[in-house]
Amino acid sequence: MFKRFATAAVTAFLIAGLGACGGEGDSYDEGSDYSVDAGQELDQGGGSVAGDSQPDAGATADASVFGLRDETRHRTARTTRATRPHMTKKCTTTTRRVRHTSTTGSGTKRHTRTWYSTEHAKSCKQVRSGTETYTRVVRPEQWCVSLDDVGGDKGQDDVWYQVTRTTYDTAVATDEHERMEFTPKDSGC
């Protein structure tokens, strides 16, 4: 009996450990032939909601990529005016009478003194007070670089990556079809 319990406990421990190791990184989308970041939201068609193009199979956000510089693209932030509830802080003050007692002496010489005080309490909460307009960011500013022959594969052409502003500036200063290596922020643009 003890041997079965020990075997079951060891098996459960190994499964939990392997599950913790396998829960990170990329997950495979069964409806398509590419992997996506586990935290990235997908639409019903299998594509990424955040980008206009499908992610590349070899692209991961934490690995560097290399290839021949093709094109660069700067996409400005897209904003819109929107409304939301305007919240204000409303506070109320309450008072209550508190009874206090103090005892001195002992036995027949025991004397109890009673007095009262008023305590104030303040409670605040957020309440809706009309609406307010604000600027909502529909798409953040993006800097993008396209590479040909990604990873040395002649068939991997016109692959877009979102990059930092520094990498974008370096790409603009680099001649077309020059070799570039960088770590992308995201795939697609």
Phi, psi (degrees; rounded to nearest 5) at 173: -80, -10
Please enumerate in sequence order all residues whose Cβ is within 8 A of that of 95, keeping only pairs 6 or more positions apart, or say none: 118, 119, 120, 121
Q: Which two tokens stand for residue 62?
A: 């934490």
* pLDDT of res. 99: 93
* pLDDT of res. 174: 87
Q: Which two tokens stand for residue 39?
A: 């935290």
Please enumerate in sequence order all residues whose Cβ is within 8 A of that of 149, keeping only pairs 6 or more positions apart, or say none: 67, 68, 156, 157
* pLDDT of res. 116: 93
> How many alpha carbons fall within 13 Å on the CB side of residue 42?
17
* pLDDT of res. 60: 45
DSSP helix/strand/coil, 54: coil
pTM above 0.75, yes or no: no
Please enumerate in sequence order all residues whose Cβ is within 8 A of that of 116, keeping only pairs 6 or more positions apart, or say none: 97, 98, 99, 100
Please enumerate in sequence order all residues whose Cβ is within 8 A of that of 49, keeping only pairs 6 or more positions apart, or say none: 40, 41, 42, 43
Q: How far is CA 167 from the centre of its chain?
A: 23
- The pLDDT profile of the chain, 189 residues, written as one tens digit per residue, is 556 656 666 565 556 554 444 444 333 333 333 333 333 333 333 333 333 444 444 444 458 899 888 899 999 999 999 999 999 999 999 999 999 999 998 888 888 899 999 999 999 999 999 999 999 999 999 999 999 888 888 888 888 999 999 999 999 998 888 898 999 988 888
* pLDDT of res. 4: 62
Cβ atoms of 69 and 180 within 8 Å: the answer is yes
